[in-house]
Structure 1
Amino acid sequence: MDRKQHLVRLGAGVVAGLGAAAIAWTGVAANAEEPAADDFEAKVVGGQPAAEGQYPWLVAVGDAGSGDPYERRFCGGSVIAEDVVLTAAHCVDEADPDDLVVFSGSVDLESDDIVETAVTDLHIAHDYDEPVELANDWALLRLDDALDVEPVEMGTDPEEFDVLETAGWGETGTGFPTVARWVEVPFVSDDDCEAAYPGEVDPQTMLCAGDLENGGVDSCGGDSGGPIMAPGDDGLILVGIVSWGYGCAQPGNPGVYAELADFNGAIDDVLEDWD
């Protein structure tokens, strides 16, 4: 298994086009000792269940076809326009639009309110994986129908904030929840982020968050593509996308997120082309 397969935070279900890119969430840094199963207690990690309406823009990205949304979802995403979802490039970079659907309308994937929407177009960041692996880890999904969902406000420089917030349906240490979970994660400076992952972080396109000293709070497998947010004047604003990390919630290994401030303009260009 290559380095990328240890890092990216995909979930248990994976769109058929991704094949071998399905990733175990328990990867650890090359210089770290893998924790024993009894010692590892990942939650979205250290978090709690989200309430209905808490993140109206939070969606799950899943396989097209039939079956339970809970079983078909493999990544998260954020609604940024009525018919556009922002997610991680590594979630969908080997997929066709016809392979994908988006689940919206509830934080509970078993709710009768869940709406399934087909994907009609897909844009992967042109500079994905440059200048380092998983840099510019963003993609856009154009939907077949507009969602009755409030889009999230696009964000700003996360360095203004001490604490950020992330949410998703990722691994909890005992399985994948049906109800999305959320957690607050301390912002980690670029210097500390690069020290945690030498040679693997591009500070221009990535940001880190987590408790460096103690661990215990983090995104995890299955949260990829979902939002990391900061407080704004009128509610939360989107500042990044769940991307990768070694293990989950381990001291010294913060979560790494695609940094929205770097590619806001590129997203706007795609949205203009799609109008």
Structure 2
Amino acid sequence: MKKNLLILASLFTVIAGCSKPTHTSTIQTQNPTGIIGGEAAKSTDAVTASTVSLVMNYMGRAHSFCTGTLISENLVLTATHCLQDMDIDKFGIFFGETLPQSFDDVNIRKVKAAVTHPGYKFELDPVENVFTGFNDIGLVMIEGEAPSFAKPVAILNDTLLSIGQKLLLAGYGLVNEVSVPAQKATGLNFVHVTIAKLFSNIIVTEQSNAQGACAGDSGGPAYLETENGLIVLGITRGPHNLARDCRHWGEYTYASRFKDHILESAQKMGAEAPVFVDAPAGL
């Protein structure tokens, strides 16, 4: 457990305030109640129906440590680094806009099974900061049914994305990482960002305007907004290019590039398979 927490902390490098950034002391989040420049989600928002929190059971209290996306009635998409060394009976999946205090909350579901990617690895720079990660995709099957307000989203099929394209991020992570102490979220938040770079399996978003994901948002969704609702296309992985805080770039695992792994893992666990959809016309 301790090893896992250290990995979670390191994966956003010093993003949670472990060292002082050289240029962000005068930058303030536009809305301190949002996910770094975003806003708090309401119970009626679409992101609330499909975005979940991974919560750890610590002496009966629920502590959010990562985020995920409901992609079928009982299957959650997240990051492998969120699941490494985690016992499935030590954490649960929370549904809702306001984080719970007790691990007995009615909107927390027990975990039945979890799958990490066998090819997951991360690279460190010379001073052992995380440089980037590979195959950072994980899956969690919940016990029973999700709450009635929950609604799974489809995954975008392999599609040619473009620089400057708008994405919607959601998560339960830090809302201010440069404050002392870092400011934790009390619930689900969301923000719009643009695609800055594209690689074979990784999407990079622009966050230099103090808007984007941060520590605790790992494993969460990068959504595409369409006339038919939200479609998930990315999984929050961590910083890009040794970003020292949450105000540079963010990396996201391109989910469709792991379609076979997702479907095979769902079958292996006995979970309902997710739906993959093509991009809407005009994307």
TM-score range, shorter chain: 0.7 to 0.9
Contact 1:16/1:63, CA 8 A, preserved across alignment: no
Q: Which residue of the partner structure matches residue 23 of structure 1?
A: 9
Q: Which residue of the partner structure matches residue 108 of structure 1?
A: 98
AA partner of residue 153 (structure 1)? A
Q: Which residue of the partner structure matches residue 203 of structure 2?
A: 207
2:269 aligned residue (239, 252, 274): 274
Q: Which residue of the partner structure matches residue 185 of structure 2?
A: 177
SS in 2 for 1:221: coil
Contact 1:17/1:99, CA 8 A, preserved across alignment: no
Distance 1:114 1:177, change over 3 A: farther
Structure 1: tracts of 5 or more residues without a match: 1-14, 191-202
Q: Which residue of the partner structure matches residue 74 of structure 2?
A: 83
Residues 83-115 of structure 1, C-alpha deviation per residue, up to 9 Å, x if partnerless? 1111111111121212221111x2111499851
Q: Which residue of the partner structure matches residue 193 of structure 1?
A: none
Structure 2: tracts of 5 or more residues without a match: 124-130, 177-181, 271-283
Contact 1:159/1:189, CA 8 A, preserved across alignment: no
User: How far apart, CA to CA, are the structure 2 residues paired with 1:78 and 1:143?
Assistant: 12
User: How far apart, CA to CA, are the structure 1 residues paired with 2:44 and 2:61?
Assistant: 22
User: How far apart, CA to CA, are the structure 2 residues paired with 1:208 and 1:118?
Assistant: 32
| 2:21 maps to 1:34 | yes
Q: Which residue of the partner structure matches residue 143 of structure 1?
A: 142
SS in 2 for 1:272: helix
Contact 2:68/2:76, CA 8 A, preserved across alignment: yes
SS in 2 for 1:39: coil
| 2:120 maps to 1:125 | no
Name the TM-score, length of structure 2 as normaliser: 0.75
Q: Which residue of the partner structure matches residue 54 of structure 2?
A: 61
User: How far apart, CA to CA, are the structure 2 residues paired with 1:114 and 1:227?
Assistant: 23
Residues 117-150 of structure 1, C-alpha deviation per residue, up to 9 Å, x if partnerless? 1112110012212799511111011112221321
Q: Which residue of the partner structure matches residue 163 of structure 1?
A: 166
SS in 2 for 1:119: strand
Distance 1:215 1:165, change over 3 A: same
Contact 1:102/1:119, CA 8 A, preserved across alignment: yes
Q: Which residue of the partner structure matches residue 3 of structure 1?
A: none
Q: Which residue of the partner structure matches residue 260 of structure 1?
A: 255
User: How far apart, CA to CA, are the structure 1 residues paired with 2:72 and 2:252?
Assistant: 21
RMSD between aligned alpha carbons?
A: 2.8
Contact 2:111/2:141, CA 8 A, preserved across alignment: yes
What is the number of equivalent residue pairs in this alignment? 239
Identity among equivalent positions (%) equals 22
2:244 aligned residue (223, 228, 247): 247
Distance 1:248 1:130, change over 3 A: closer
Contact 2:21/2:245, CA 8 A, preserved across alignment: no
Distance 1:233 1:58, change over 3 A: same
Task: Tell me which protein shows more strand as a share of its residues.
Answer: 2
Q: Which residue of the partner structure matches residue 9 of structure 1?
A: none
Distance 1:178 1:269, change over 3 A: same
What is the deviation of 1:66?
4.5
Residues 2-27 of structure 1, C-alpha deviation per residue, up to 9 Å, x if partnerless? xxxxxxxxxxxxx5561432416572
Moved more, 107-116 or 60-69: 107-116
Task: Tell me which protein shows more helix as a share of its residues.
Answer: 1
User: How far apart, CA to CA, are the structure 1 residues paired with 2:235 and 2:113?
Assistant: 20
